[in-house]
Amino acid sequence: MSALAIVTLACAAASALFVLALIARRVRLARLEERRRRLLAQLRPAAIALVEVQDAQPPDLSASEAEVFAELLSRYARSLRGPEHGRIAAYFESTGAVDAQLRRLHSRLSWRRGAAAFALGDMGAERAAPELLRTLEDRNRDVRNAAVRSLGRLRSVEAIEPLVAAGVVRRVPRALSSAALFEIGPTAVPRLRELVTHPDPDMRADAFELLGLLGDAGDADVLLGGLRDPAERVREASADALGRLGAADARDALIDALHDGAPTVRAATARALGQLGGDRAAAALLTVAGDADSGPASAAARALARIDPQRVIQAAQEPGASPHLLEAADLAAM
């Protein structure tokens, strides 16, 4: 037999062994998945009982069963609050699962650190907050993102300023840090009120923006101060926040802010006045709709159409009407 034939046979045998190994692996994975599905169905009643019944005792479980049981409880924890979530947290504490995940936060492997940071939020482990705050400085972005998500799940008040800062410096996506702060909810408002005086203008701007989303009309006085801030972005965020909160008491101050030197601030102010409405606001917006800067003019025309569509249509019929009024009138007439 030639050397070429021997090599060909060897390659064929190796290929056959590789295919057989793949088939065996798929069969094994399919069996494991089927066993996992059976365990999920088998353990679901016990998991529900643990969540719903005070002083319910968890069943005796093998290692593989405990893993599936923890998966079920973690799923439920994502949509529960109050006593039910507290019972899930108590279970994870009693089994040592929280301590195990805290140890994994120090693993050399980033995927283990990330999985631990993610799991601690679902476990409701409030005492993990200091370690998760430290993890915001992790060198791996996915790990930092998991920590942000869990700090929101834990509604950690001490995490408010670090979460805002992490978004400002882009250590994590701003949308993710904002989502965590939304999950913390209104309890974040007192700390956000303090942050509007932070030395960093980006921190102040984000604090104003978040106040507009989490606060209420009672925060108008704090937000009005932002209209006088030396930083353009802060004034813009303050104007937008006042509009979101529907702070009618801020109408006059916003009308004055239509003369701000920054086009972005004038545009934000126009948007805010469109949400507040009123005859004086409409008259001021009509003037700005002819602004030489297209951003404020377009925002003012659209805001005016929101307040008084007929007024926009009439203004668009006047000689020399701005293209922004013409566009807003077309939209209002639809």
How many Å apart are CA 259 and CA 83, to the nearest integer? 52
- With H, G, I as helix, E, B as strand and everything else as coil, classify residue 196: coil
* Highest-confidence segment of 3-7, 175-179, 244-248: 175-179
- DSSP string covering 37-72, please? HHHHHHHHHHHHHHHHSTTPPPPP--HHHHHHHHHH
132 in Cβ contact with 149 (< 8 Å): no
Q: What is the mean pLDDT of residues 98-115?
A: 94
Least confident of 134-143, 206-215, 234-243, 317-326: 317-326
Give dist(CA 8, CA 124) in Å, integer.
59
Give 55's contacts (C-beta < 8 A, 6+ positions apart).
Answer: none
What is the pLDDT at residue 11? Answer: 62
Q: CB within 8 A of 301, min separation 6: which ones?
A: 285, 289, 312, 322, 324, 325, 327, 328
Torsion of CA 192, 185, 140, 125, to 10 degrees: 120
Cα–Cα dist 142/110, whole Å: 8
The pLDDT assigned to 267 comes to: 94
The tokens of 258 are what? 């239509």
Using pLDDT thresholds of 50, 70 and 90, give the confidence band for residue 66: confident
Q: Is the predicted pLDDT of residue 277 greater than 80, yes or no?
A: yes
Closest CA to 119 of 149, 82, 144: 149
**Under 8 Å between Cβ of 290 and 304:** no
The single-letter DSSP state of residue 134 is H
Closest CA to 150 of 134, 168, 171, 139: 134
198 near 207, Cβ under 8 Å? Answer: yes
320: phi then psi, degrees, rounded to nearest 5: 75, 15
Reply yes or no on whether the pLDDT at 316 is more than 80. Answer: no
Instruction: Count Cβ atoms below 10 Å from residue 199 Cβ, excluding itself.
Output: 6
- Higher-scoring residue by pLDDT: 285, 332: 285
pLDDT for 10 equals 58
- Which of residues 20 and 71 earns the better pLDDT score? 71
Answer for the pair 51, 44: CB distance below 8 angstroms, yes or no: no
On whether the CB atoms of residues 209 and 237 are closer than 8 A, the answer is yes
How far from each other are the two terminal CA atoms of the chain, in whole angstroms? 85
Residue 287: pLDDT band with limits 50, 70, 90: confident
Mean per-residue pLDDT over the chain, rounded = 85
Amino acid found at 49: A
Radius of gyration of the chain (CA): 29
